[in-house]
Structure 1
Amino acid sequence: MKRTGRTLSLGCLLLLLPLLASASGNSLLIPALGSCSLNTATEELPAALDACQQAALTGDVKAQFELGEFYYDGKRIERDLSQALQWFEQASLQGHAQSQYHLGMMFFRGEGVPANAVQAYIVLKMAAVNGSDEAMDSADLIAAQMPRNELEIASQVLGQIFRNYLLELQNADTLTSPFAPLP
């Protein structure tokens, strides 16, 4: 199931690529156990940042998220929206709901990218599917502001993503249906 969730997230972001062309104070840094913690003393920050980047480059989703937060927040280093976007995108491809939420809000606000409500809505809906309640609320607020034609485009893209996801589930090498009741 983990593979299909990752594919669902990847499919979402891959379908968004064409859209790209047209298109409070508390730190949220959460240390990733064993791989990366940027909540360190100032003198230890360069080494901690290097360790976190190494973990993120090997695919550690928690490290990718923490780096996204670190660069987005800009409290301990100059804010770098390009870096934040990069790390949130990497974690989003692995289905990380909070990264998808942040990415969607960056698309909506035009932070580091041109503002794009359609793209924001799609990514926020994916974050909601992956468990982010705040993404569901934000997607609903954005939908209320979107012109009907943009909402239709976003719904079509989401429909295609879910159709692809269901096809993948049907073609998976499993003996039982993914919708069958648990034993």
Structure 2
Amino acid sequence: MKCTGRTLLLGCLLLLPPMLAHAGGNSLLVPATGRCSLNTAPEDLPQALTTCQENAQRGDAAAQYELGEYYYDGQRTPRDLPQALHWFEQASLQGNAQAQLRLGSMFFRGEGVQANNVQAYIVLKMAAINGSDEAMDSADQVAAQMGREELQIASQVLGQIFRSYLLELQNIGSSPTPALAPAP
């Protein structure tokens, strides 16, 4: 299998721990509904969209997911699959299971991206690991459409992802605590 472009980027970045989703700030200080709420009156939508985009660009996975849905569903703006794909990828890279579920489905159906069962299966398995029950069922549906070779490739990639993640966890746990300098 030749890994290039979006496949390689997504596969490599999925190695990042989901903890990055909270690196930007204290989520206890800002209620989730205040960060990005696009379910608003039409006259309030431009300001809500601006706020959501700002938060998404700062790395807020929930805002990234909301923007993905906004562009995907096409109810309040014309459907824009490249934009939806971009925001779902960003949220997915932070371990957002809903974004991973949607992204895996897009890869499976070829929505905004060339259909790719291997990539769909991998992303759906990651969504299942991150808490999406629906993703496990979807991954099983994708697997039913895959050949033996595709399943082997997907299993190898998932194995590599998990090995890298475990190594990263081991390195975090074994990194020495910096010594405190003696008081002058």
- TM-score (ref. length: structure 2): 0.78
- Show the 5 A alignment for 1:1-183: 13-14=11-12, 32-173=32-173
Partner of 1:26: none
In terms of Rg, which structure is larger?
2
Shift of 1:168: 1.2
- Per-residue CA deviations over 1:14-69 (Å, capped at 9, x if unaligned) read 278xxxxxxxxxxxxxx942211111111111111111101111111111110001
- Cα distance in 2 between the residues matched to 1:146 and 1:56: 34
Letter in 2 for 1:13: G
Count residues with an aligned counterpart. Answer: 152
Partner SS for 2:79: coil
Shift of 1:173: 3.4
Partner SS for 2:44: helix
> 2:122–2:154: 8 Å Cα contact kept in structure 1?
yes
- Cα distance in 2 between the residues matched to 1:46 and 1:79: 17
Structure with greater contact order relative to length (CA < 8 Å, sep ≥ 6): 1
- In the superposition, relative to structure 1, how do residues 46 and 15 fare at CA in structure 2: closer, same or farther (>3 Å)? closer
- Report percent identity of matched pairs: 72
Partner of 2:23: none
- Per-residue CA deviations over 1:77-107 (Å, capped at 9, x if unaligned) read 1000011000000001110000000000000
- In the superposition, relative to structure 1, how do residues 122 and 141 fare at CA in structure 2: closer, same or farther (>3 Å)? same
Unpaired segments of 5 or more residues in structure 1? 1-9, 17-30, 176-183
Runs of 4+ with deviation above 6 angstroms: none
Shift of 1:12: 6.0
Letter in 1 for 2:12: L
- TM-score (ref. length: structure 1): 0.78
- In the superposition, relative to structure 1, how do residues 15 and 153 fare at CA in structure 2: closer, same or farther (>3 Å)? farther
- Cα distance in 1 between the residues matched to 2:10 and 2:154: 11
- RMSD between superposed Cα atoms in Å: 2.0
Unpaired segments of 5 or more residues in structure 2? 1-7, 15-30, 176-184
Partner of 2:22: none
- Cα distance in 1 between the residues matched to 2:93 and 2:119: 15
- Cα distance in 1 between the residues matched to 2:128 and 2:151: 17
